[in-house]
């Protein structure tokens, strides 16, 4: 899991401050967010399972994240993807374990995998369980935007998707999150 502190919460919604992190990222062309997350997973998993210069294994973290290409993503432990809803390019990321640095991480063997330093940031999150679908993501995003509107924060970017569990976990138990970058409403 990524390092963060909870600044505010209401039920399954939270405002979190995330620490800086390093991610392994790849860009994929896909007709949907779900397909982008699936397609991007393979080269990133290959990297952490030894597809790198010294063939060194790196611990799997969660979540995996994904977002439309060019959208900034900053998460640590999930696989994430930003909800774009249309065909196009998506950035899919694995968060590297915190004990690694840019100097100690092995170089990816696949040139499509990049290592990127991500600065700390504040995000609103809403977690949900069960099968992941466009409808569930949309419902979660609407609820999260409503939470942010009454939270003392304002939106600072587009929605991202995060998936926390392996395919071995039964679908009805899998954890997902929608995340929205935010900033204090009265920042000076």
**Could you give the CA distance from residue 86 to residue 20 in angstroms, rounded to a whole number?**
30
In three-state secondary structure terms, 43 is helix
Task: Average the pLDDT over each of 15-19, 123-127, 129-133, 184-188 and give the range with the smallest value.
Answer: 184-188
Please give the residue that has the higher pLDDT: either 62 or 46: 46
Residues 4-184, CATH architecture: Alpha-Beta Barrel (3.20)
When pLDDT is cut at 50, 70 and 90, the band that residue 88 belongs to is confident
pTM: 0.82
Mean of all residue pLDDT scores within the chain: 86
Tell me, what's the pLDDT at 37?
Answer: 86
Please give the residue that has the higher pLDDT: either 51 or 84: 51
Q: Is residue 81 within 8 Å of residue 93, measured between CB atoms?
A: no
The domains of the chain are located at 4-184
Tell me, what's the pLDDT at 79?
Answer: 55
Task: Average the pLDDT over each of 32-46, 72-86, 125-139, 157-171 and give the range with the smallest value.
Answer: 72-86
When pLDDT is cut at 50, 70 and 90, the band that residue 107 belongs to is very high
- Kindly give, in sequence order, each residue whose CB lies less than 8 Å from that of residue 108, ignoring residues fewer than 6 positions away: 24, 47, 51, 52, 53, 114, 115
pLDDT, tens digit (0-9, with 9 covering 90-100), for 116-173: 999 999 999 999 998 788 889 899 999 999 999 999 999 998 888 898 887 788 988 9
CA-based nearest residue to 96, from 23, 9, 179: 23
Does residue 72 register a pLDDT over 80? Answer: no
Tell me, what's the pLDDT at 178?
Answer: 93
Tell me, what's the pLDDT at 188?
Answer: 58
CA-based nearest residue to 83, from 71, 68, 72, 96: 68
In three-state secondary structure terms, 95 is strand
């Amino acid at each position: 899991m990524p390092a963060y502190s909870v600044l505010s919460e209401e039920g399954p919604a939270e405002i979190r401050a995330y620490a800086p992190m390093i991610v392994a990222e790849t860009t994929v062309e896909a007709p949907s967010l779900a397909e982008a997350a699936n397609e991007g997973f393979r080269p990133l998993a290959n990297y952490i399972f030894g597809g790198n210069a010294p063939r060194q294994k790196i611990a799997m973290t969660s979540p995996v994240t994904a977002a439309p290409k060019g959208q900034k993503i900053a998460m640590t432990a999930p696989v994430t993807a930003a909800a774009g809803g249309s065909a196009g390019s998506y950035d899919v990321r694995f968060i590297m374990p915190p004990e690694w640095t840019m100097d100690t991480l092995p170089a990816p063997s696949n040139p499509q995998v990049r290592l990127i330093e991500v600065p700390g940031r504040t995000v609103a999150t809403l977690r949900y369980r069960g099968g992941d679908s466009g409808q569930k993501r949309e419902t979660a995003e609407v609820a999260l935007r409503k939470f942010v509107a009454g939270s003392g924060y304002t939106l600072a970017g587009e929605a991202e998707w995060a998936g926390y569990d392996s395919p071995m976990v039964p679908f009805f138990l899998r954890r997902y999150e929608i995340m929205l970058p935010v900033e204090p409403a009265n920042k000076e």
